[in-house]
Structure formats: structure tokens, C-alpha cells
Amino acid sequence: MNLTSLISSLIVSGSLGYLNYNILTKLDVVDFYKDNKDDKRYFVIMLDGINYLLYLVIASFIPHAQQGSYLAIAITMLLVLLISVVLDFTVFPWSKKFINWLISKVRNRSGLPDFDVKSTQEFFFNSNEPQRVYIYDFDNKLIDCGYLYYSSGSDFDELSPVLIPFEKPEEEKSYLEVKKIARKQSSQMLIDSDRQIKILNLS
């Protein structure tokens, strides 16, 4: 392989790995918490390797790509980019579902619960229904309440819900009142011992 072609393949594989990671993160195919920096790095390296193999395979079919022809290298890089992005939207999401299903089957045979990669926040706020959220401190004093508008960050440490205030003041209820309502309908409670808050989600 020509030196120009080698350098181009390394540049493509390295840069596209991060692009793949960002796309897969936006698609919720992968999600690494702050404490999983090593896992994230290994995953990006794996994506780099896939892109490098793609480059080698495609370059073998493009005349003069391995001899250092700039036009051939440019065409190869473009094809690698297109195929790599297509894989992000097709093969990788399917692979994730299959791998998770396979892991869950193995865990079930060992008497373990299903494997779930959702973060606490994703699980807690994952609903298509309007969500009424009440936030209390550990003394059961109301901090804030409203309709959930947006929740940023999948990491529990980055829990930052954005609320829309209720239209009616009477919607602001005490902890005991909300607990009574919660017993009669679908509800969840998230306890953050670090911040010493309790979040009740009524959907």
C-alpha cells in the first residue's frame, strides 16, 4: 500500500469512528456514562477498526487507490463515509438488539433478570404520556413541580429536568397529597440520596 493511501486510511478510520459514535449516541444505540470512559474509548477504537477494514476492502476495488492516486483515494474515502453512516442507521441498531436479546437469554438461564442498558433517568422519564413531576426534599417540602418538558443527560449525576409550571395553583400539592394520588394511578418515585431529593412522576 502506498504511503499516501496508508495515511488516508488511518485518517478516515480515526475521524469516522467519532462520527459513528456521535450518531449512535443520538440514536440511543450506545450510551456510556461519565465513569465509563474506558468503555467509550474501546468502543470508538472498535469503530475505527471497522472503518479501516472498510477502507481496505473498498480500496481493493478502486483502481489506483492503493497506488496513491488522489482521485481514487477521494472516491474511496467518500464511499467509506457513506457506507459507514448507513451502517449506523441499519446494521448497528439491529446488532444491539440481537446482542441484548442474546445476553438476556443467557442471563435468564442462570436465573438472572433481563439485561437492560437504560440509565435510571431514561427508565424513570421514558413515557409518551404527559408527566406531572413533583420534587421534594427529604423533609417532604415541595421544591418545584410541573409538567416534564425536557430532561437532559442520561447519566444519573446529570439529572436536570426542565419543567413547565402547572396552570392552576391548586396543582401544587403536599407530599402526602401526591402520595395518595400516586397510589391510585401509574406513578414512580426516584430518590437521589446525594442531592437529598425525591422526585415523583405521575403519568
Q: Which residues of 46-69 are buried (b: 16+ CB within 10 A; e: fewer)?
A: ebbebbbebbbebbeebeebbebb
Among the ranges given (53-57, 94-98, 153-157, 184-188), the one the predictor scored with the smallest mean pLDDT: 153-157
Q: Look at residue 72 in the predicted model and tell me its pLDDT.
A: 85
| Statement: the pTM of the whole predicted model exceeds 0.85 | no
What residue ranges do the domains of the chain occupy? 3-109, 120-202
- Return the SS3 of 95: helix
In this prediction, residue 190 has a pLDDT band, given cuts at 50, 70 and 90, of confident
* CA distance linking residue 200 with residue 145, whole number of Å: 9
173-188: pLDDT as tens digits: 999 999 998 888 878 8
Q: Look at residue 157 in the predicted model and tell me its pLDDT.
A: 47
Q: Is the dihedral of CA 176, 177, 183, 188 positive or negative?
A: negative
* CA distance linking residue 39 with residue 144, whole number of Å: 36
C-alpha distances out from residue 21 to 65, 92, 133, 149, 201, Å: 27, 11, 32, 26, 31
Q: Is residue 142 within 8 Å of residue 116, measured between CB atoms?
A: no
Neighbours of 82 (CB within 10 A): 10
**What is the rounded average pLDDT of the residues 143-156?**
70
11-61: pLDDT as tens digits: 777 778 888 888 888 887 776 655 566 777 888 888 888 888 898 899 888
Contacts of 69 (CB under 8 A, 6+ apart): 63
Q: Look at residue 59 in the predicted model and tell me its pLDDT.
A: 86
- Return the SS3 of 133: strand
Q: Look at residue 128 in the predicted model and tell me its pLDDT.
A: 61
2-18: pLDDT as tens digits: 666 667 777 777 778 88
* CA distance linking residue 9 with residue 41, whole number of Å: 19
Among the ranges given (52-56, 67-71, 81-85, 198-202), the one the predictor scored with the smallest mean pLDDT: 67-71
**What is the rounded average pLDDT of the residues 65-92?**
87
Lookup result for grid cell 425536557:
150
104-133: pLDDT as tens digits: 777 778 777 665 555 566 666 666 667 888
Name the residue type at position 13.
Answer: S
